[in-house]
Amino acid sequence: MKVLIETYGCQMNTADSELIQGILRTDGFETAHTLEEADILILNTCAVREKAEARIMGRLTNFVPLKKQNPNLLIGVVGCMAKHLGHDIVKKIPYVDFVVGPDNYRRLPAILRSIGKNAEIQTAFDRTELYAGCTPHRPRGVTAWVTIQRGCNYVCAYCIVPYVRGVERNIPAENILAEVRELAQQGCSVVTLLGQTVNSYVDKEVDFPELLRRIAAIDGIEQIRFTSPHPLGFSDELIEVIASEPKVAKFVHLPLQSASDAQLRAMRRNYTYEDYCTIVQKLRTACPQIAISTDIIVGFCGETEDDYQCTKQALLDHRFAFAFLFAYSQRSLSIAARTLPDDVPNDIKQKRLAEIIAIQQTISKEVYAQCVGKRLPVIVEGFSRRHPEQAVGNTPDFKTTLFTGGDAQPGDWVEIEIERATSQTLKGKLIRILKKGNAPQVENPIDVGISLGPTENPPN
């Protein structure tokens, strides 16, 4: 039986889709590459904003003709929306055959083999589930997602994630190191460590800075990225490792959410705007070439015009390389949904959002334009899907760079002269190969675009 997975939401879900493929393939299932050849269709879903769920519900209704054509086709919903809505999904869309939460993927092979007339719903939390012994099925290539942490122990008032992903659980450091060593042996040289608050990672004596140091010591690993850290507990030691360890990306995605202390308090973020600025300043002092990006929510409960102006000013002051910008969307289960009125009118939320999107777009353009004329190191990750003659890679500060010329291969470090820039990418020509890599032929071309942050809302 062939399985196709469509993935929504953040990188945790992308990594989980690879995990699910791994679990199913170990059990004899195969991978489908098109809807038509699939016997089993799985939507790995996101619940973070109402729009994300609405989009998935819409997608599910598209499958009516497919199901009519092939009555044996199994359709399932897994991931965060599966945990959030459970039975309600089947009530709304009766031809959904299974609904499986983020802690229940090991059961998928058994569930798929035993589905009868009634939909199978399995969404219970299992705080012991770390998927030890399950090998994700990854596309062969230079980059890999590596989950180091599941769940979240923070309770930001707006956020549904802790209620759909459960409490924080850290993967044992030795398992992570073994996984990265194996990836390096297969020719993967760029890893992105994933967790909801990666800097709270701890396993016995190994905290997050130590984990970075140990991964950096692995031969074959050239670049380590991570997402997302939380401003709380962003220690001087972490700043020191980012600044001093050449293999650690000179890039930090550091969600601010709001620059108003009243809003930060209402959001239960546990830091002040000043705390945030101190981290940014320390990062920029210790590591002048660092690029910083962020997440912002406008229109959260009680946000006044003054609160909003603080956030707008913060974007102007920090000049983030890019930012994921959102209008607040009330989520059931969250603290805000239970205790705070969603009192900013939608037209004001949308007006504020549109304004900061325009501001950030200009800033990103300027930040990227500053690279024009420079020669920058780039690690090659593959070839553009739309323009296969162009190679794609990233600078150490995570600026996606397209270039032509030469015979650079994935895994190589190259020097690129930057000729043009948009608000999301750099374009240039190859000057020379700095260091040959030993990557295998990549399996998948790359969709050019920034791939850190919730993919549902592309950066501006």
Our finding on whether 77 is near ligand F3S (CB under 6 A) is no
CA 326 to chain centre: 15
Our finding on whether 13 is near ligand SF4 (CB under 6 A) is no
| Binds ligand SF4 (CB under 6 A): choice among 7, 11, 44, 196 | 196
Q: Which stretch binds ligand SAH (CB under 6 A): 37-45, 321-329, 338-346, 438-446?
A: 321-329
Least separation, in Å, of the C-beta of 337 and ligand SAH?
9
Give the list of residues 6+ apart from residue 100 with CB closer than 8 angstroms, or none.
Answer: 76, 77, 78, 82, 107, 108, 111, 120, 121, 122, 123
Our finding on whether 454 is near ligand SAH (CB under 6 A) is yes
| Binds ligand SAH (CB under 6 A): choice among 291, 297, 376, 450 | 297
Q: Is 192 exposed, middle or buried (0-12, 13-18, 19+ CB in 10 A)?
A: buried
Our finding on whether 48 is near ligand F3S (CB under 6 A) is yes
Establish whether the linkage from the previous residue to 228 is cis, with ω within 30° of 0: yes
Least separation, in Å, of the C-beta of 293 and ligand SAH?
11
Beta partners for 30? 2
Our finding on whether 46 is near ligand F3S (CB under 6 A) is yes
| Binds ligand SF4 (CB under 6 A): choice among 156, 198, 206, 363 | 156
Our finding on whether 165 is near ligand F3S (CB under 6 A) is yes
- Nearest-angstrom CA–CA distance, 366 and 113: 54
One-letter amino acid at 455 equals T
Q: How many CA atoms lie within 13 A of 388 on its CB side?
A: 4
Beta partners for 3? 31, 40
To the nearest 10 degrees (0 to 180), the angle between helices 273-286 and 236-244 is 30
| Binds ligand F3S (CB under 6 A): choice among 4, 15, 38, 47 | 47
Q: Which stretch binds ligand SAH (CB under 6 A): 67-75, 155-163, 241-249, 369-377?
A: 155-163
| Binds ligand SAH (CB under 6 A): choice among 43, 52, 161, 211 | 161
Given a contact cutoff of 8 angstroms between Cβ atoms, the answer to whether 201 and 146 are in contact is no
What are the residues binding ligand F3S (CB under 6 A)?
9-10, 12-13, 46-48, 80, 161, 164-165, 454
What are the residues binding ligand SF4 (CB under 6 A)?
152, 154-156, 159, 161-162, 196-197, 230
